[in-house]
Amino acid sequence: MVVLKKIFSQLAFIFILFVILELISIKLFPEYSQNQKYKKLTNSNKKNLSIIQKGKYQHFELIEGLKIRSDKNDIKKKLAEKNKKIWIFGDSITGGYGLKYTDTFFYSLEKILNINEQKFNVFPISRNAGTFGDLVSIVQNSKDIFGENDYIISQFTYMDIAPPQNINKNQNPIQSKSGIFKKISSTINEFRFEYLHESTFIRVLTHYASIMKRKTSGTCSERGMHALGRYSYSYGSQKYLEESKLAWTHFEERLQSLKKFSKEKKLKLIILISPISLQLENHNKINFHNLDLNCSEIDARKKLLNLLNEYKITYSDPLVLFNEAMQTDLAENNFEPFSFFSEYDTAHPSSKGSLLMAISLYKTIINY
């Protein structure tokens, strides 16, 4: 009986301590109090894919091997309509990472175009990770779905720039080496994402664990790949400048290939440049891995725009709208760190950021 009392009292202490830590976490990290569950949902129809991502239900349809974000209406019926078609090829940003369908940039784009009596159907096709080279290959292998004068929008992110050896291996530049802790982490990830992420305290622990396993201080040389993370090649991290030059050369070759393909198929090509938070002022709270552009030898945006202008490729650059909106919020004393990007995420836009991307892309399309 005494033993049971001790066990009960210890369990009660642990429970009370957890509740206190949970309440403190909710107070200090309200952004982590939102539903952040991740889960794949079982589908009876193998041509459909449903997931819960950052607490949002998302649905995709597989058409001709392409993963198209769906509003659960019949995409084949939409494909058969004679409206102008816009094909958006990209990564998880084009997939609407962590967003409801109605919060995505492609939903807003289609609505804005059709409100102005521009009859368009928009098809967002996403692939996870990969590079610009992967995207170009997908476009070229999907030539049979395109009609003359269709729009092809290639969504570019600065993580797309990687040297050929990383492209072939599909490596994450800052991926940690395989080890016992990584294997253990991988086995519990599914349980963690589905259940443990209900707790704000657990998510805060994960947040700081992510910081601790990276080199967030020191010289650029000492930090190596951690100084710029997945932007190391696009921005030419000091320690990886030669690899960065190779990566940009590879990108330029694939860009030329995409332009040639679009011209041959009589398609209207647009590059959609997805901004990153490092390009904005007041991004420090998002930048919890302390990525440092002072460690770069390449102005990635300038280099990209120069290439697009050199090859006379139309592009949409929403960064100007992001900066304008941010300055307005600052002037009104209404700036919020996570208003343009997902919390602690340098690449995936929030619903507000997605709307700005839609506005920028709309302007580019009507002025094509």
pLDDT band at residue 184 using 50, 70 and 90 as cut-offs: low
When pLDDT is averaged across residues 11-21 and rounded to a whole number, the result is 85
SS3 210: helix
Q: What is the pLDDT of residues 215-224, one digit of tens each?
A: 988 898 889 8
Distance CA 329, CA 317 (A): 20
When pLDDT is averaged across residues 295-317 and rounded to a whole number, the result is 96
> What's the confidence (pLDDT) of residue 58?
92
CB atoms within 10 A of CB 329: 16
- Point out the least confidently predicted range of 37-51, 202-216, 267-281: 37-51
Residue 108 and residue 116 in contact, taking contact as beta carbons nearer than 8 Å: no
- Point out the least confidently predicted range of 61-65, 76-80, 181-185: 181-185
Please say if the pLDDT value at position 353 is more than 90: yes
Residue 274's closest CA among 114, 124, 156? Answer: 156
> What's the confidence (pLDDT) of residue 361?
97
Instruction: Please tell me the total count of domains within the chain.
Output: 1
Is 66 a member of any domain? yes
User: E strands within the chain?
Assistant: 39-41, 48-53, 56-63, 66-70, 84-90, 120-126, 151-156, 268-273, 314-316
Residue 234's closest CA among 296, 305, 315, 174? Answer: 296
SS3 142: coil
Residue 219's H or E segment, with its range, is: none
Query: Domain range spanning residue 83?
Result: 35-174+214-366
Distance CA 134, CA 264 (A): 20
26 exposure class (CB count in 10 Å sphere: 0-12, 13-18, 19+): middle
When pLDDT is averaged across residues 108-131 and rounded to a whole number, the result is 86
Better-predicted residue by pLDDT, 189 or 16? 16
Question: Average pLDDT of the chain?
Answer: 86
Distance CA 56, CA 161 (A): 29
> What's the confidence (pLDDT) of residue 28?
85
Structure tokens at 76: 């084949």
pLDDT band at residue 176 using 50, 70 and 90 as cut-offs: very low
CB atoms within 10 A of CB 136: 20
Is 125 a member of any domain? yes
pLDDT band at residue 367 using 50, 70 and 90 as cut-offs: very high
When pLDDT is averaged across residues 272-287 and rounded to a whole number, the result is 88
Distance CA 194, CA 21 (A): 21
pTM of the model as a whole? 0.88
CA 101 to chain centroid: 15
* CATH number for position 61: 3.40.50.1110
- DSSP state, residue 243: H
> What's the confidence (pLDDT) of residue 354?
97
Is 133 a member of any domain? yes
When pLDDT is averaged across residues 136-160 and rounded to a whole number, the result is 89
First to last CA, the chain: 80
Is 3 a member of any domain? no
Is 154 a member of any domain? yes
Please say if the pLDDT value at position 232 is more than 80: yes
Is 193 a member of any domain? no
User: E strands within 64-205?
Assistant: 66-70, 84-90, 120-126, 151-156
